[in-house]
Amino acid sequence: MRIGVYVCECGKNISATVDTEKVAEYAKSLPNVASSRVYKYMCADPGQEIIKKDIEELKLDKVIVAACSPRMHEPTFRAVIEDKGLNPYTLEIVNIREQVSWVHDDKKKGTKKAKSLVKSSVMRSALMEPLDRKRVGVTHKALVIGAGIAGIQAALDIAGSGYQVTLVEKSSSIGGKMAQLDKTFPTLDCSACILSPKMVEVGRNPNITLIANAEVEQVDGYVGNFKVKIKKRPRYVIEDKCTMCDDCVPVCPVIVHDEYNENLSPRKAIYIAFPQAIPASYIIDPDDCLGIDPLICSKCKDVCGPEAIDFDMKPEIIEDEFGAIVVATGFETYPIENLGEYGAGNIPDVITGLEFERLISPGGPSTGDLRRPSDGKLIKNVVFIHCAGSRDPAKHLPYCSKICCMYSTKQALMFKNEVRDGTAVNFYIDIRTGGKDYEEFYQRAAEEAKVVYIRGKVSELIQDGAEILVKGVNTLTAETVELHADVVVLATGIIPSQGTKDIASVLRLSLGINGFIKEAHPKLKPVETSITGVFVAGCATGPKDIPETVSQAGRAAVRACNIIAQDEIEVEATIAHVDEILCRGCGICVGTCPYSAITLIDTKRFGNIYKVASVNEALCKGCGSCAAACLNSAINQFGFEDKQILAMIQALGEE
Amino acid sequence: MSYDYIEFGETEKEFTSKIEEISGQNIFSCYQCGKCSAGCAFSNLMEKTINHTIQLVQLGKKEKVLQSNTHWVCASCLTCTVRCPREIDVAAVMEAIREYTLRYEPETIERLDLPEELLKKIPNIALVGSFRKKSEL
């Protein structure tokens, strides 16, 4: 056995708190070590060459690199040793950066710890065995969950690469929150005008299968081979037959709140979310309709010329397989009910940004006339309160919701364009305009539309006669201030949607502290998740504006295509394996496995049938939970065998 | 706690737009970075900082602006004007406030109010000048 040890200085990252020369010197004294060297940047090309040269000249059969976390450069060095004919799984990485130099100040102690870690790895290295790379087949089809702008863009980009993609949307139409917006910053483009061509393309593209009014219920399998169960709720209107003539709506006797208009206007039980909706078909709301079991009213069915209405439609379960999944389940806004000092939703003219968006929209409840909700009076004075919920770790959301400065500015500007003699006052903590042309947009609102910005928070909103009394502070003049407004718009923050939470539990995705889906790496793997083959785009990972969402969706699409374009892909080699003689079939491992990779199977032994654990090699992620939980030590993990780990512990104990 | 009432009525709008008109500046360009106050050689002598004054002009707070000595202390050295990131001629705004005071709230000088002692000291030309500018006759 000939082991080579390579200690990296990582510039000063490691050498500042670890005496790398001493560590290398010490390594030479350890058993089986044939070579031990230090280099400034082991990951750089000359560093890699040193290892390659040693493998060749000194006939090394194991390599240990003492450097940064294996998460950074394990693939690099595996490739290096594989290039010289060694099995890549015999590489051992000692993390003396994240676990030593970055967390210690004392160079003496740091050096000592680095030595111990190198020693334990030398002991383990001697026991490491070559492993086979495992490969599995791939289904050339992707699933996109959620059809807001993120999901639409991801689906279009995957379809544009020539692959089949299924787009699942919870509500009756695709479009998401963007479909509710009147205009978009910083160009004041009409939202529907830029979104609807994409929506139409989704409906038209032969590579896209759209399943609206449906939810993903269950996902099994693994990268390349996800088995998905989608529940499609009945629409009660046959999509292909509906001609959108609108004859059904006037006869429907049931009137309910219209969610598309943020409940500011009524709709019927048979309706279409908005004129540009895709699928272009009406839908019946089963909670309110009087025709669905029991059949009390069938007025719409009576007038429907093309006979598109079917009260007997049943939920449908669609099962399919996909190679990769893109999650684009979006956001909701922070509930106004939580903001007690702003009336907790009890003052009718204190509204959310999204409600204001509907009010100012020509397709909205007041056909763009800007009448306030309480008494329909034309709005003259508006106060916008930024950070309604955001940047308040004590009671509400700890983070900045990113888009509120811009959307409040946009709405104030739109308002001033409509109501020339009106006033728009923004109360803000900071104005954050980090985006292309955003600062200029903010400047335009102030200079051209004379939108007033007051730095400071509003402490209280009080209904004062027909108006709202706003009490706040101007921190620039250091005065408490008050004013009256016809309408107060709260720039409510962004929170993960219910759909995001639901899909995270279905897919077993890791969530961050604020409930958004956690990226595999915040900077370099922004669309990858904790599950290989599952990607995420848009506000499901955190607050984002439209340009950022669209570009992220594009990357998620490319990453999904990276997988579905392959015929087969490599999966984890360091997986669990069962010693059938030791296994007594207790099943503890089955419940422990977070990936449902273990099942109990019948095996014949001494003429009897026994139950023993069996690992599905494609499903196993090599987390090691089962190996730790097994009461009989019957489960071991390739690459992390008990004997290897015990050798490490023993080496560390000897110090 | 007393609250200062903010209102955008005719008086407020008239004041703001008059200052804009006299100075030729867009007062709403100011985003309150404070660089004008930071660089002003006389900030320490001003009752309100320059950016504070400009914010009050934005809000149409005529009384508060005119009560303060800020615009009178301004020496028109133009440091603020040169440095303003939003290209506002801040010194022109200060000058506009001075002008506004003179145009709309002229202070008058009564011959009889001047003490004898002072009259003996003041140069003739100063007296003539001030009567021309500041008398109601």
Which two structure tokens, joined as six digits, stand for A238? 């046959």
Residue carrying structure tokens 């985003």: B31
Query: Looking up tokens 């702008």, which residue turns up?
Result: A149
Identify whether residues B125 and B95 lie together within a single domain: no
Chosen domain end from A529, A564, A599: A564
- Paired strand residues for A488: A350, A383
Q: How far is A380 from chain B (nearest CA, A)?
A: 11
- CATH number for the domain that contains residue B84: 1.10.1060.10
- Within-domain flag for A73: yes
Q: Strand A3-8 and strand A91-95: pairing?
A: unpaired
SS3 state of residue A344? coil
Q: How far A342 CA lies from chain B's nearest CA (Å)?
A: 18
Residue B43 lies in a domain: yes
Q: Which residues of chain B make contact with A455, given a CB cutoff of 8 A?
A: 32
Could you tell me if B97 and B31 lie in one domain?
A: yes
Those residues of chain B whose CB sits closer than 8 Å to some CB in chain A are 1-8, 26, 28-29, 31-32, 51-52, 55-56, 58-59, 86
Tell me the chain A residues in contact with residue B56 when contact means C-beta distances shorter than 8 Å.
Answer: 477
**Cβ pair A231, A316 in contact under 8 A:** yes
A223-255 confidence digits (pLDDT tens): 899 999 999 999 999 999 999 999 999 999 999
A116 and A27, same structural domain? yes
Give tens-digit pLDDT for A582-610. Answer: 998 999 999 999 888 899 999 888 888 88
A583 with A553, same domain: the answer is no
Residue A267's domain comprises: 248-303
Q: What is the largest CA-CA distance in chain A?
A: 94
Q: β-strands A91-95, A62-67: how paired?
A: parallel
| Half-sphere exposure in the Cβ direction for B135 (13 Å, CA) | 12
Number of domains in chain A: 5
Which of chain A's residues have a Cβ under 8 Å away from the Cβ of B3?
Answer: 471, 480-482
Residues A358 and A486 in one domain: yes
Question: Looking at the domain assignment, is residue A49 inside a domain?
Answer: yes
CB A6 within 8 A of CB A80: no
**Locus of tokens 């848009």:** A538
Q: pLDDT band at B134, cuts 50/70/90?
A: low
- DSSP one-letter string for A541-592: SS---HHHHHHHHHHHHHHHHHHHT-SEEEE-SS-EEE-TTT-----HHHHH
d(CA A545, CA A526): 15
Token duo for residue A374: 């309480």
Question: Which amino acid, one-letter code, is at A182?
Answer: D
On whether both A423 and A514 belong to a single domain, the answer is no
* C-beta of residue A38 within 8 angstroms of C-beta of residue A18: no
Collect all residues of chain B within an 8 Å Cβ-Cβ radius of residue A412: none
Counted domains in chain B: 2
Cβ contact A370:A377 at 8 Å: no
For residue A381, give the 3-state DSSP assignment.
Answer: strand
A181 domain residue, yes or no:
yes
Both structure tokens of A222? 């693994």
B46 and B93 co-located in one domain: yes
B8 contacts on A by Cβ (under 8 Å): 381, 423, 452
Question: Is the same domain home to B59 and B96?
Answer: yes
> B68 with B127, same domain?
no
Under the banding of pLDDT at 50, 70 and 90, the label for residue B121 is confident
Q: Which residues contact A249 (CB under 8 A, 6 or more apart)?
A: A268, A270, A271, A282
Residues A267 and A199 in one domain: no
Cβ within 8 Å, pair B4-A452: no
The reply to whether B59 falls in a domain is yes
* Residue A186 preceded by cis peptide, ω within 30: yes
- The Cα B112–Cα B34 span in angstroms is 44
Same domain for B113 and B59: no
| Beta carbon pairs, A and B, within 8 Å | 54
Is the residue at B70 inside a domain?
yes
Q: Does residue A469 sit in helix, strand or coil? A: strand
- N- to C-terminal Cα distance for chain A? 24
Mark out the alpha helices in B24-134 (DSSP H runs).
35-39, 50-58, 62-67, 70-73, 79-83, 90-104, 116-121, 124-134
Q: How far is B9 from chain A (nearest CA, A)?
A: 10
Token pair 């001003």 is found at B46
Closest CA to A595 of A516, A515, A514, A532: A532
% of chain B beyond a pLDDT of 70: 93
B97 and B74 within one domain: yes
Q: Let me know whether B32 and B84 are in one domain.
A: yes
Residues A548 and A488 in one domain: no
**What is the domain extent for residue B111?**
107-137
* CA–CA distance, A107 with A281 (Å, rounded to integer): 70
Q: Are residues A359 and A453 in the same domain?
A: yes
- Return all residues near A513 (Cβ < 8 A) that are at least 6 apart: none
Coil, helix or strand at residue B48? coil
Q: Are residues A15 and A151 in the same domain?
A: no
Cα B49 from Cα B42, distance rounded (Å): 9
Instruction: Give the residue from A514, A530, A564 where a domain finishes.
Output: A564
Do A272 and A183 belong together in one domain?
Answer: no
Domain membership of residue B4 (yes or no) is no
Give, in degrees to the nearest 5, the angle at Cα A38 between A32 and A43. Answer: 105
Beta pairing partners, A326: A144, A535
pLDDT of residue B106: 65
pLDDT value at B137 more than 60: no
Closest residue in A to B52 (Cα) is A477
> Which residues does chain A have with pLDDT short of 50?
none
The answer to whether residues A165 and A345 touch, using CB atoms and an 8 Å cutoff, is no
* Strand positions, DSSP E, A20-125: 33-39, 62-67, 91-95
| B8–A423 C-beta distance less than 8 A | yes
Rg of chain B over Cα atoms, rounded to whole angstroms, equals 17
Q: Are B99 and B40 within one domain?
A: yes
Same domain, A152 and A204: yes
B84 lies in the same domain as B26: yes
| Integer Cα distance of A587 and B82 in angstroms | 78
> Residue B1's pLDDT is what?
61
In chain A, residues with a C-beta closer than 8 Å to the C-beta of B38 are none
Residue B60 has pLDDT above 60, yes or no: yes
Which residue, chain included where needed, has tokens 């684009």?
Answer: A328
Assembly ipTM: 0.80
Domain identity same for B47 and B16:
yes
Q: Which H/E stretch holds residue A202?
A: helix A191-204
Per-residue CA distances from B7 to A74, A212, A436, A452, A621 (Å): 65, 49, 34, 12, 64
- A390 and A429 belong to one structural domain: yes
Q: Is the pLDDT of residue B136 over 70?
A: no
Which of A447, A453, A471 lies nearest to residue B26, judging by beta carbons? A447
Q: Which residues of A touch B (CB under 8 A)?
A: 381, 423, 425, 431, 442-443, 446-447, 450-455, 471, 474, 476-477, 479-484
A139 Cβ partners below 8 Å, 6+ apart? Answer: A224, A225, A226, A321, A322, A323, A564
Whether A429 and A455 share a structural domain: yes
The reply to whether B76 and B54 lie within a common domain is yes
Greater pLDDT, A135 or B15: B15
Identify the band that residue B83 occupies on the pLDDT scale cut at 50, 70 and 90. Answer: very high
